[in-house]
Amino acid sequence: GASNRGIDDVRELRGQVQFTPINAQYKIYIIDEVHMLTPEAFNALLKTLEEPPSHVIFIFATTDPHRLPPTILSRVQRYDFRRFSVEDVLVRLKTVVEGEKLSADDDALRLMAEHAAGGMRDALGILEKCASFTDVINLPSVEEVLGVVPSEQVTSFARLLFDGTPVETFKIIDDIHNSGKDLSQFAHSVIAELRRRLLSGVQGEDENSKYESLRITAIEIFSEALKDMRFAQDPRIPFEVATLKVLDWKEPLSIQDIDGAIIGELEQKIEALEKQILDLGSKIASAGGGASRATSEAAMIQKPRLQPSATDSERTATLQDIWSEFLQELRQEKLMQCEAFLKEGSPVEVVGNEVIVAFPKDRGFHKASIEQDNHREPAERILSKKMGLSLRITCISQEDKHKQVTRKTKIQKQTAKKKEKSEVKRQTSTVSKQEESDSQDFINVSLETFGGKIFTKSEE
């Protein structure tokens, strides 16, 4: 199918199936790797599959049946071939060896069977290569033909992963690399050996079953390294890193170990606290005055920064002084988002119990976020505690701030102007009253000097 995958090949096939066989009863067409045919070729084959001649049998073989079109699958019968077991392949290889009068070790034949991965054809192909390579088929010769690392090195490497040192383990890697062996193939062999030991431990055949969790972890680490080795410029690096991970791996603590460690730590803390209590009890008499002073100092520290009668200007000045401390306390309270939002704003003033915070025009997201209750209320709680007042945070933009300042300045100017007019009027009234008083005094002195009288002109 890979070599004859076009529509022209299928048309030629359709022309041949019309002829009846000469000597046999059926004509059998076997198409291997049929999933490689093009969609056009499949469409050209549909009619023949739907109504095949009575003397024709088609056999399609593929390793990817899911890639076949549904129209093809609906016109054929499916048979899934299973892999041969290692023992079945081994029996067949022994039969061939006896029939061909070859000399082969059982270990060599088993390695062929394992390397064939359930494929009888692959196993026979390996046997054929080995037979042409040497007259006596033994384990070293098969390893040489397959290019695999000797089993002794694989076994030693797997053992050193659990009981060895990095120096010994990396020496094996260097030897394999210098001998020209494929490290990817070696990784496959290591994973297979670890799997064998894992299964032996599960079945109770391995006395070192305590390494079960490490074997599972090692299989996962080397499997991941095998993926990285395919695309690495130097496959040796991912393999060495995986080896270090396995060597440095430590078995996680069990629940019993964790509980024991926690209980031991708590017991130590209790003993330390009891010792501190005894030490404090012996120092109470001599440290009475100092304790009183410490209590007084603590009370002074906890005293609120502002009194409820403080003016808005005093509150504003205090707010600007402690703003950085307030942001730092938000971070200490694990309120990182509140701290990040408020850091982009700046405190403008305090009006009554309302704290005005201005944000730049491009920080609208931060302004909208801090206005949400889940961010604003924790910030108000901490700020109120720090200021000693119940405060509420109100957010404005810098543009609103400028408008507010301009309006405030205008109101201040109008107020000052009114005060000035009132002062002038008051001073004028005072001068008039003073002049009137001086005039009355002059009249009184004149009357006393000359003995005069004041006559009021009556209206006619």
Indicate which CATH number applies to the domain containing 182.
1.20.272.10
Spell out the residues 6+ positions from residue 296 whose beta carbon is closer than 8 angstroms to its own: none
Please indicate, yes or no, whether residues 48 and 90 belong to a single structural domain of this protein: no
Domain assignment of residue 441, yes or no: no
Cβ atoms of residues 49 and 72 within 8 Å: yes
Q: Which of 248, 268, 283 is the last residue of a domain?
A: 248
Cβ atoms of residues 69 and 99 within 8 Å: no
Spell out the residues 6+ positions from residue 437 whose beta carbon is closer than 8 angstroms to its own: none
Cβ atoms of residues 124 and 91 within 8 Å: no
Residue given tokens 């019968």 in the structure block: 77
Domain assignment of residue 254, yes or no: no
| Largest pairwise CA distance in the chain | 177
Domain assignment of residue 203, yes or no: yes
Q: Of 273, 283, 148, 162, whose CA–CA distance to 212 is shortest?
A: 162
pLDDT at residue 125 in the model? 92
pLDDT at residue 288 in the model? 52
Please indicate, yes or no, whether residues 160 and 244 belong to a single structural domain of this protein: yes
Please indicate, yes or no, whether residues 42 and 102 belong to a single structural domain of this protein: no
Please indicate, yes or no, whether residues 237 and 186 belong to a single structural domain of this protein: yes
DSSP class of residue 130 equals: H
Rg (CA), the chain: 49
From the DSSP assignment, how many helices (H) and strands (E) are in the chain? 19, 7
Please indicate, yes or no, whether residues 159 and 216 belong to a single structural domain of this protein: yes
Domain assignment of residue 264, yes or no: no
Domain assignment of residue 324, yes or no: yes
Q: Which of 146, 169, 196 is the last residue of a domain?
A: 146
CATH code, 51 = 3.40.50.300
- Please report, in tens digits, the pLDDT of each residue of the chain (460 residues total): 667 778 788 888 888 888 888 888 899 989 888 888 888 888 888 888 888 888 989 898 988 888 889 888 888 899 888 889 989 999 999 999 998 888 888 888 998 998 888 889 899 999 998 888 888 888 888 888 888 888 888 888 988 888 777 888 889 999 888 888 888 888 988 998 888 888 876 655 555 555 677 788 888 999 999 998 888 888 889 999 999 888 887 555 455 555 566 777 777 778 777 777 877 766 665 655 554 444 444 434 444 555 666 787 888 888 888 888 888 888 888 888 888 888 888 888 888 888 888 888 888 888 888 888 888 888 889 888 888 888 889 888 877 665 565 555 555 556 556 666 666 566 666 655 565 666 676 677 666 666 666 766 654 4
Contacts 24+ apart (CB under 8 A), 121-128: 123/84, 123/89, 123/92, 123/93, 124/92, 124/93, 124/96, 127/93, 127/96, 127/97
In the chain, how many domains are there? 4
CATH code, 393 = 3.30.300.180
Domain assignment of residue 107, yes or no: yes
Please indicate, yes or no, whether residues 332 and 362 belong to a single structural domain of this protein: yes
Please indicate, yes or no, whether residues 328 and 376 belong to a single structural domain of this protein: yes
| Alpha-helical regions (H) of 249-311 | 255-283, 288-302
Q: Which of 18, 40, 73 is the last residue of a domain?
A: 73
Domain that holds residue 381: 312-403
Please indicate, yes or no, whether residues 316 and 384 belong to a single structural domain of this protein: yes
Please indicate, yes or no, whether residues 142 and 165 belong to a single structural domain of this protein: no
Please indicate, yes or no, whether residues 177 and 232 belong to a single structural domain of this protein: yes
Q: Which residues of 53-64 are buried (b: 16+ CB within 10 A; e: fewer)?
A: eeebebebebee
Burial class (CB in 10 A: 0-12, 13-18, 19+), 349: buried
Give the whole-angstrom CA distance, residue 354 versus residue 389: 10
Strands 346-351 and 354-359 come out as antiparallel
CATH code, 108 = 1.10.8.60
Please indicate, yes or no, whether residues 141 and 156 belong to a single structural domain of this protein: no
pLDDT at residue 292 in the model? 47
Cβ atoms of residues 211 and 162 within 8 Å: yes
Domain assignment of residue 283, yes or no: no
Domain assignment of residue 416, yes or no: no
Cβ atoms of residues 331 and 339 within 8 Å: yes
For residue 396, what is the enclosing H or E element?
A: strand 392-397
Please indicate, yes or no, whether residues 230 and 161 belong to a single structural domain of this protein: yes
